[in-house]
Amino acid sequence: MKIAMGADHAGYRLKDVIIPFIESLGHQVEDLGCHCGDSVDYPDYALAVCEKVTAGEADKGILICGTGIGMTIAANKVPGIRCALVHDLFSAKATREHNDSNVLAMGERVIGPGVAQEIVSIWLGTEFSEGPRHQNRVGKIKELEDRFTLHP
């Protein structure tokens, strides 16, 4: 599986820990930055990751900032993205099974590397598997997206 990954200045250290972990699981990672503690704008990195996912150039995306909140909000503005902010193991599994999330967001200031690795492992290893009622709900999310997306 190919994973697009991005972080801002408040999340790049956790990103740099998570990338080799994902590779050790046998996945390919495209690191879209950032690579230092200098202040940057998280929407730029959310967009870069989400464009890779929606273009089919990555199977899934992972975003990290200080809390994960800003990245989640920005990512969910991109049509076709279902980004989930996750800081616990139950939610990591549920968001894949029930919501078919294609982008994961986490906060470096909220969780440590060990929990982040467990979340990533569960999230990457869980399929969208909860049947027709959840597919119907994900379909309704797409309908909302289509309804409110401006078409040039």
* Angular region, 131: left φ>0, alpha ψ -120 to 50, beta rest: left
**How far apart are the C-alpha atoms of 68 and 19, rounded to whole Å?**
17
Query: Does 137 carry a binding-site annotation?
Result: yes
Residue 34 a catalytic site member = no
Percent composition of the chain: helix, strand, coil (DSSP 3-state, to 5) = 50, 15, 35
Residue 80, annotated as binding a ligand? no
Q: Does 76 appear as a known binding residue?
A: no
8 annotated binding-site participant: yes
36 is catalytic: no
69 labelled ligand-binding: yes
Whether residue 96 is annotated as binding a ligand: the answer is no
The answer to whether 133 is annotated as binding is: yes
- Say if residue 35 carries a ligand binding annotation: no
User: Which 3 state secondary structure label does DSSP give 107?
Assistant: strand
Cβ atoms 64, 71 nearer than 8 A:
yes
The active-site residue out of 50, 65, 134, 151 is 65
- Quote the DSSP letter at residue 36: S
Other CB atoms closer than 10 Å to residue 115's CB: what's the count?
16
- Catalytic residue from among 27, 87, 98, 134: 98
Q: Which residues are catalytic?
A: 65, 98
Pick out the residues of the known binding site for D-ribulose 5-phosphate. Answer: 8-9, 66-70, 99, 109, 133, 137
Pick out the residues of the known binding site. Answer: 8-9, 66-70, 99, 109, 133, 137
